[in-house]
Amino acid sequence: MESGNGKSDKPLHVAMLPWLAMGHINPFFELAKILARKGHHVTFINSPKNIDRIPKPPKTLQPFITLVRLPLPRIQHLPEGAESTMDVPSTKLGFLKKALDGLQDSVVEVLKTSKPDWVFYDFTFEWLPEIAKSLNIPCTFYHITPAWNVSFFAAPKKQMNLDFSLKSMCGPPTWLPFRTSIHLRPYELMRAHNIPKDEETGERASFDINKAFSSCDLFLNRSCRELEGEWLDCLADIYNVPVIPVGVITPSMQIRDVEEENKNPDWRVALSQQDLTELAHGIELSDLPFFWAPKKLKEGYLSCQRGLRREPRIVGLFGRLGPLFKGAREKNVAMEVPRSEEDGSFTRDSVAKTLRFAIVDEDGSTLRENAKEISKIFGSEELHDQYIEDFIAALQKYSRLSSTSK
């Protein structure tokens, strides 16, 4: 076991329960591998198919990670064999949530048997804290996206003091104790809250996010104080719970087994065909050198002047990493391709112009200099390893306090 602030005579045992989505399972598992590398044990709980989709950790870490496969109960209207958001249309998410809720008894048995020191859970497990407390196990909510979006999408309504009109929600966030240029656009708000109805039943997926957030003993956030210090403090005030950043877990810190990862399906946020086309032509119009790597050669090719190209590896910049860019843009270290306020679409010309401004134009020199400076923070393995050590130390400290108070 490595030394540092997280060192303890007794290694921690953590149980993890991410939502049934690879976009949540993978970040949880990344943290599991980091804890395992530090000598702590992790019991990782999910459905059989999702567990099988996770690339195997390096052999040196496998003794520290126990994979628990819990079969989902059969739920009417949930497609047979569906175990993940990638297996169902958005109209069926409510039934996937019902299947997850049907695991409560199984989760109780796993926790009783494994007796972890901590339970880490995701936003869909609003019932987990009550179970953990009944078993005298402290629990922590692990938030995998930036702290700022909790204040917009999940803050208690009474604290926001808004009339919840589109104009009010997309205006300056007056409920915050500090000034910020971050705000929501109409299309972002509509995409977040416009959960489609199931055509068969008329039901919509429902998640009690406030209960999930406010019921934990600790709130972990995949962020750092250098980027989101005020937002992290704001979260602590909103939910009256200690908020611990675990760092951004940079690519250099992520533990990879390339051979295993190549055997497993990739996951990403997809663009519409129109957006993909505009992105491709925008990159070409920028007249900048680029490399477009198709992941799988099958239907859906995009024909461009330089050959056959399909889904680009930089899709994440427009999708999964989007929330992080708002904070980075506020610090003038990133810029976003202009989008339509109403539907979020963008054009090839706006892609080309943004790329040239960020990479080569003289007017973008300040942006590039700022980005170089903040890259020292994001690229500092020492800094982000310290975040991991500090977060482990917080778990150890709380466990000691908890055990002495029983």
Domains and CATH numbers, the chain: 13-264+380-405 (3.40.50.2000), 273-319+332-377 (no CATH)
Q: Which of 24, 40, 143, 384 does the annotation list as catalytic?
A: 24
- Rounded to 5°, the CA angle 274-278-284 comes to 150
Query: Residue 47: is its pLDDT beyond 90?
Result: yes
Calculate mean pLDDT across residues 61-90: 96
**Is 20's pLDDT higher than 80?**
yes
Q: Given this model, what pLDDT does residue 404 score?
A: 59
What local confidence, expressed as pLDDT, does residue 261 receive?
Answer: 55
Is 122 labeled as catalytic in the residue annotation?
yes
pTM of the model: 0.83
Average pLDDT over residues 4-22: 81
State yes or no: pLDDT of 232 exceeds 60.
Answer: yes
Q: Tokens at residue 22, please? A: 């690879």
| 162-176, 302-316, 334-348: segment of lowest average pLDDT | 302-316
Residue 71 has pLDDT above 50, yes or no: yes
**How confident is the model over 155-202, as pLDDT tens digits?**
665 665 555 566 667 777 777 888 888 877 888 777 776 778 888 888
Higher pLDDT, 148 or 2: 148
Per-residue model confidence (pLDDT) at position 309: 38
pLDDT digits (tens, 9 = 90+) for 258-275: 555 555 554 455 567 788
Q: How much is the pLDDT for 367?
A: 87
| Whether pLDDT at 60 is above 90 | yes
Closest CA to 284 of 312, 319, 255, 318: 312
pLDDT interval class at 81 (50, 70, 90): very high
Which of 117, 122, 217, 275 is catalytic? The answer is 122
pLDDT of residue 405: 58
pLDDT of residue 160: 58
pLDDT interval class at 305 (50, 70, 90): very low
The strand pair at 307-309 and 302-304 is best described as antiparallel
Averaged over 29-45, what is the pLDDT? Answer: 97
* Residue-level pLDDT at 319: 36
Mean of the per-residue pLDDT values of the chain: 82
Q: Is 163 a catalytic residue?
A: no
